Structure 1
Amino acid sequence: MDQRSVVSMKWSPDGHYLAYFLHPNSGSTSADSNTIEVINMQNKRRIPLGTGLKYAEWFTWSPDSAKLAYIDGEGRDGNSNKRLTLFDVTAGERIVHADQKGQVDTHPAWLPGISSSLLFTRGPATDPLAEKNNGNVFKNRHIWMKPQHGNAKRLTSGPSTVSDYNVVPQINGNGFMFLRLSLDKQAFGSIYYQSLSASKPVEWIRGVDKDFGYYGNFLPPAFAVYQKK
């Protein structure tokens, strides 16, 4: 139980920092909590950042190596206690909490560019066992953006029965793709494109389904397209 493995290592683009998970020697324990650390390669100092699920998709360096975005929080489900957090190199290796009370964050992704903004999914925290959710704990999640300076703002919207996931930034940084699920229709949805200069997204592919994944974490980011007969 005391033995831990270094997994999912990610270098900062400038090579000055190495981020990774410390994976405990227990399948049950690792499903709920893994230590997140970075090493400053210039002075070989280990810096603890928190604990989280061992998903490489949930921690990522900004293109300019200034920040590491990661999801902090114990517990194996993705519907509670998951908080967007930033390790800010330019602010003296400071840990910045970018979460919002009562909300859950997942899947951060940086837009390309030096002055980069961060895209992520945010929605209300829910109790998977609560009857008031009528068995659906994935409602009302949307794509948000946190600029380099300032507060995060929501980029997509819709009724509470719609949820947006799996944001994929466009290479030129002008927009992003995402999956929109209509949860009142047996979790069928569409792939949309949202331009940062437009007010509404454009539907590209209709009839897409998504596996709810390991404890509802929507991983890995894959879709299944169903052809109408």
Structure 2
Amino acid sequence: MKDGRPYGFENVSLGVSGFEWYPNGKEFIVSAGSTRLPTGWEPIKLYRIPKDMHLYEKRAKLLYSIPIDENHIFAVTVGDFKWSDDGKWVSFLGTPTPSWAMDSNPLCVLSSDGKVFKDIGRMLGFNDWFKWAPHANQLAYISGEGRFLVENKNTKIAEIKASTKQVEYTPKGYVDLDLEWLSPSKVIVARSQENKVWEEGPVPTMFTSLFEIDLGSGTQNQITFPMENELDVDPQVVGSYLTWVRKQDETHKGDVLIKHEKKKEARIWIEDVDFSPVIFKK
């Protein structure tokens, strides 16, 4: 910026497959993808680089090197970096080769100094399916392999400590297909019954409604009640408000509903949308 206006750009680094700012706003965490050699897959390397690097390679510091093993952690690149609230941990998704990536992606966590690496689990490659708690080192995500959403999609919360503990919250016979933190102790999920009958043909629509999970008590309550052949998707929380989209079908337009935490009833906020709104959050 110059005099409050955009003013040109400068190259920082080459050879980058994914990146995100460090919370201090002065550095980046960047990834360099793996390539296949006659001896096998190269490690994926993560670097910490200053924003004023100016392509000077010696200023890049190796943060961590992820060994690639098709029987353990398999990915060609990593990205979708997300920092924990205190900036001490960063989570990210690995992306394997194309067909494999449709069914399984490794979810990983790394400490900001690069000293502690954790393989959290396997999930689909949806950026919205893993989120940090507002004020704790807890990572909520939807686990489960397989590209079809009819089964094996379960909400888990990982406690990122010296020894990672995970708790699963999806009841048997159900799938969770989106999530959002409502508060430090409550999580909202979009939940539907499993469909193990389907085997071929068009993939069936999963008619989800929203449930609230209380992590303290373990209780789970349905909080939205769409009509038959309607589904509630894309929950988002801003302050004291919860928003979501109600559709007749996944391919049709829908309405954005909004509800204040102290009120029982929701109201239509925006009508006839193709996608959920992108809401600015400070």
How high is the TM-score relative to the length of structure 2? 0.63
Identity %: 23
Q: Does 1:166 align with 2:231?
A: no
Residue 9 of structure 1: aligned partner: 81
Tell which deviates more after alignment, 201-210 or 157-166.
Answer: 201-210
> Which of 86, 96, 118 is the aligned partner of 2:187?
118
Tell me how many residue pairs correspond in the alignment.
205
Residue 207 of structure 1: aligned partner: 272
Return the offset for 1:30: 0.9
**CA offsets, 1:189-223, max 9 Å, x none?**
3211122222232122333445xxxxxxxxxx569
Distance 1:222 1:130, change over 3 A: farther
Letter in 2 for 1:123: S
Structure 1: gaps of 5 or more residues: 211-220, 224-229
Highest Rg: 1 or 2? Answer: 2
Looking at structure 1, the residues matched to 173 and 266 of structure 2 have their Cα atoms a distance apart, in angstroms, of 26
User: Any idea what SS the aligned residue of 1:29 has?
Assistant: helix
**CA offsets, 1:138-166, max 9 Å, x none?**
24311122224122221101333111001
Return the offset for 1:92: 4.9
Q: Does 1:19 align with 2:91?
A: yes
4+ long deviations beyond 6 Å: none
Equivalent residues in 2 for 1:68-83 (5 A)? 68-83=139-154
Looking at structure 2, the residues matched to 103 and 196 of structure 1 have their Cα atoms a distance apart, in angstroms, of 26
Q: Does 1:144 align with 2:208?
A: no
Looking at structure 2, the residues matched to 128 and 169 of structure 1 have their Cα atoms a distance apart, in angstroms, of 34
Tell which deviates more after alignment, 156-165 or 42-51.
Answer: 42-51
Q: Does 1:181 align with 2:247?
A: yes
Return the offset for 1:63: 1.3
Contact 2:83 2:90 in 1 (8 A): yes
Contact 2:149 2:206 in 1 (8 A): no
Letter in 1 for 2:187: L
Looking at structure 2, the residues matched to 38 and 196 of structure 1 have their Cα atoms a distance apart, in angstroms, of 32
For CA contacts below 8 A with separation 6 or more, give which structure has more relative contact order. Answer: 1
Residue 213 of structure 1: aligned partner: none
Contact 1:128 1:137 in 2 (8 A): no
How high is the TM-score relative to the length of structure 1? 0.77
Structure 2: gaps of 5 or more residues: 1-35, 42-67, 69-74
Return the offset for 1:39: 2.2
Residue 57 of structure 1: aligned partner: 128
